[in-house]
Every structure is written in structure tokens, then in C-alpha cells.
Structure 1
Amino acid sequence: MNLVNRVYQGVIVREFILAIRQRGEVLQPLLFILMVVTLFPIAISPSPELLSRIGPGVIWIAAILSTLLSLERIFRDDFIDGSLDQMLLCGIPLSLITFGKVFCHWLITFVPLLIMTPIFALLFNVGGHSMLVLLLTLLLGTPVLSMLGAIGVALTLKAKNAVLILSLLLVPVFIPLLIFATAAIENASAQLPYLQQLAIMGSILLFTSAIAPFAIAYALKVSQD
């Protein structure tokens, strides 16, 4: 347990130091979401009824697209400077290290989104119970985005046009999350049961958390061979 704690402390400290040094890249996903949620109502319509219907979907789509912007840096610097080779040779289970890195990616990328979500929701006239359900879907879904995205990054680490391949690989995988999230929010706004959709998203989160660290570690080892 002490080894695990030391590993996570080291990984978290390192990732946050890198995030501070690369503030532009770290802020890019949040700025992208901010531009989408502010420009979308201007482009579509100022109608409160229409905005409240499409708002949650727009926020979720912005979150998915911002994920694609931020994923590459999870292992890019480690691959370039040779740190990834040291992770493979250090004797510590690679699944522990990768889980820590993915957790840091979620903290840096999506916690600011969760904090800003009430403001974004108000811009789309999404309030009350629907806003709470929107927050719950993001809380359940965004860790899955980070974990599945990290698997895709590990698989395409040495590929040419990795960003394009990553987008083609991950967008279809993210669609079920988008469907269940928007269905839960629509049911909440219509005062219909929505716990089933949240339960499915929670199951996806638990299943992904169980297999993702090992899948990422295996993909990295394959990419390095």
C-alpha cells in the first residue's frame, strides 16, 4: 500500500508540474468548451425553450471534442523524453502508473468543466433538476472519456496522423455515453424516471475502471515493441 501511495504521489506531482509548465495546452480544452457554449446560442436561436432542449447535448458534445484535444499529451512527453521506457523498466506495475496519469488527466481537464457547468447550463436556460442530472452525467461519464481515450492514445502512440486516427477510433466509442447522458437529462426535464440511464453510465464507469489500467499498460507495451 505504501508503494502504491508513493507511486500515485509521484505521478500526480509530476503531472501537475507539467501542467503548470504547459498552461496553454491545459487551458485549450476549457477554452474550446467556452467558445462552443457561448457561440452556439448566437448561431442557433436565443429562444429559451430551444436552448434548454439542446443545451445539455451541446455541453456533452463540447466535452467529447475537448477530450480529443487534450488526450495526446497524456503519453506524448513521456514517449519523447524516454520516461515511458523508464516506466516500463522500473519494476512498478505499469497499470498503477497509467491509472495515476489518467486520473490526473481527468482532474486537470474535466474538474474545471464540472465547476463551470452550472454557468454553462444557465446560458442554455437549463436549471433546477435538469442541471443536477447534467452534472451527474458528466461526473459519471468524463472519467470514462479519459480512460477510453488513454487506451486509444496508447494504441496510436507511434502512428502517423495519430490525431486523425484517434478521432476515428474514439468518437464511435463515446456515442453510447452521449446517448445515455442526453436521455437521462431529457427524462429529468420531462419529470420521467432517469435512474436507469444513470445506473447504466455508472456500470460503464465501473467496468471501464476495472479494465482500462491493464488495457492501457498492454497497449503501451505493444507500442514500444
Structure 2
Amino acid sequence: MSALKSLFYRELTLAVRLGGGALMAVIFFLIVVTVIPFAVGPDLNLLARIGPAILWIGALLANLLALDRLFQADQEDGSLDLMVMAPVPLELTVAVKAAAYWVTTGLPLAVAAPLFGMMLNMPAESLGAVCLTLLAGTPGLTFIGIIGAALTVALRRGGLLMAILVIPLMIPILIFGILATSAAVVVTTPFLNPFLLLLALSLGASVLGPIAAAAALRFGLE
């Protein structure tokens, strides 16, 4: 446990020192939320209706921003070989790295989402649900994304290939995240059903993602 805790703090420290993580993800998220209204026009009612989709698409893209470097940096300095040979199961190591990535990227996105929702004219009473759905769904996006990061660990500039591989797998989380958030905006539709499905998908990804990513890393290093 001490080794995993040290790894978690190491990942947090590296994310802060490298200047990426929370700040870059939130800035990218803000850019997406700011640019799309210019394309759809000044209709505030329309923005309120499509606001959940804008927020979720922005969060998905921002979550992918630095994910391709999650294992590449370790592979370049030799740390990845040590992680594979360590007595700690590689699946747990991958899960800890993914959790640290979510804390420095996904969590700030969920916290910033209500503020950006106000920019899209979303009702004030729905902003809490926006944060809640992103808190439930962004871990699933991260744990799915680590599979693509592991598959492209040996490729330079593999970010585009990683996105092509993992975005189709993220579509179910995106769909139920938008449905749950839209249900909070349009109160005539149920919120709990899509939210519970979103939670189930996120929990499933948190279990299967590290297993698949660890297998991809072992295969890539053979």
C-alpha cells in the first residue's frame, strides 16, 4: 500500500510541476464552451437545451488532452519496466496512475462545469446536477482512456490514434451523461435512471480498464 500511495503522490506532483493537468484541461474546456455558441448563434433557449451536450463533449475532449503521455513518460525514462517487474500487481499500478490523472484533470472539469453551464444559460437549479453527472462519468472516461494510452505507449505522437481507439468506447458514457444532465434541465424526464446507468458504466470501466491496460502494457513491452 505504501508503494501505491507513493506512486499516487508522485503522479500528482509531476502533474503540477509539468504545468499540465487541471489548468490546461480547464482552459481547453473553457475554449470549447466559448467557441460553440458562436457557431449555433445567440439563441439563449437553444443554448440551454444543448448545454448538456456541449459540456459533456468539452469534458470528454479535455480529458483526452494529456492522456497519451500517461505511460509514455514512464516508458521513455525506464520507469515503466520497473513498474511491470515490481511485486505490486501492474493492474493496481495502472489504476493508481489513472486515479491520479482523474484528480488532476477530471475532477477540476467537474468542479468548473457549473460555472460554464451558467455561460450557456442553463437553469441555476440544474447546475448541481451538471457537476454530479460529471463527477460520476469522468472517472469512466479516464479508465477507458488508459486502455488507449497503454496500446499506444510505444508510439511517438500517438495521441490521435489513441483518440480514435477510445472515443467509440466512451460513447455510452457520453450518451447517458448527456441524458442525465438534460433530465436536470428538462424536469419532465427522469434523472435517476440515466444517472444510475452512468454510474454503472463508470464503475465497470474502473474495473475492466486497468486489467485491459495492464495486458496491453505487458504485450507492448515484450
**Shorter-normalised TM-score: what interval?**
over 0.9
Name the residue aligned to 1:189. Answer: 185
Matching residue's letter, 1:41:
P
| Whole-Å separation in 2 of the counterparts to 1:133 and 1:120 | 13
SS in 2 for 1:23: coil
| Whole-Å separation in 1 of the counterparts to 2:35 and 2:132 | 24
| Whole-Å separation in 2 of the counterparts to 1:23 and 1:67 | 15
Q: CA deviation at 1:222?
A: 0.8
The CA deviation string for residues 44-75 of structure 1, in whole angstroms up to 9 with x for no partner, is: 22222111011111111111111221201211
Contact 1:152–1:170 (8 Å) recurs in 2: yes
| Whole-Å separation in 1 of the counterparts to 2:183 and 2:86 | 49
The CA deviation string for residues 9-63 of structure 1, in whole angstroms up to 9 with x for no partner, is: 2112211221122104653222111111122223322222111011111111111
Matching residue's letter, 1:142:
T
Higher fraction of helix: 1
Matching residue's letter, 1:134:
V
Within a 5 Å distance, the mapping from 1:39-78 to structure 2 comes to 39-78=35-74
Name the residue aligned to 1:167. Answer: 163
SS in 1 for 2:64: helix
Name the residue aligned to 2:29. Answer: 33
Name the residue aligned to 2:91. Answer: 95
| Whole-Å separation in 1 of the counterparts to 2:27 and 2:56 | 15
**Alignment partner of 1:126 is 2:108:** no
| Whole-Å separation in 2 of the counterparts to 1:189 and 1:26 | 27
| Equivalent residue for 1:156, pick from 133, 138, 152 | 152
SS in 2 for 1:125: coil
Contact 1:7–1:96 (8 Å) recurs in 2: no
Structure 1: gaps (5+ residues): none
Q: How high is the TM-score relative to the length of structure 2?
A: 0.93
SS in 2 for 1:207: helix
Contact 1:12–1:100 (8 Å) recurs in 2: yes
Matching residue's letter, 1:43:
A
SS in 1 for 2:65: helix
Q: How many residues align?
A: 221
| Whole-Å separation in 2 of the counterparts to 1:188 and 1:31 | 25
**Alignment partner of 1:7 is 2:3:** yes
Structure 1 residues 186 and 16, CA gap change in structure 2 (3 angstroms): closer
Contact 2:140–2:202 (8 Å) recurs in 1: yes
SS in 2 for 1:92: coil
Q: How high is the TM-score relative to the length of structure 1?
A: 0.91
Contact 1:106–1:146 (8 Å) recurs in 2: yes
Contact 1:7–1:97 (8 Å) recurs in 2: no
Per mean C-alpha deviation after superposition, the further-off stretch among 19-28 and 146-155 is: 19-28
- State, as a whole percentage, how many aligned pairs show the same letter: 37
Structure 2: gaps (5+ residues): none
Name the residue aligned to 2:220. Answer: 223
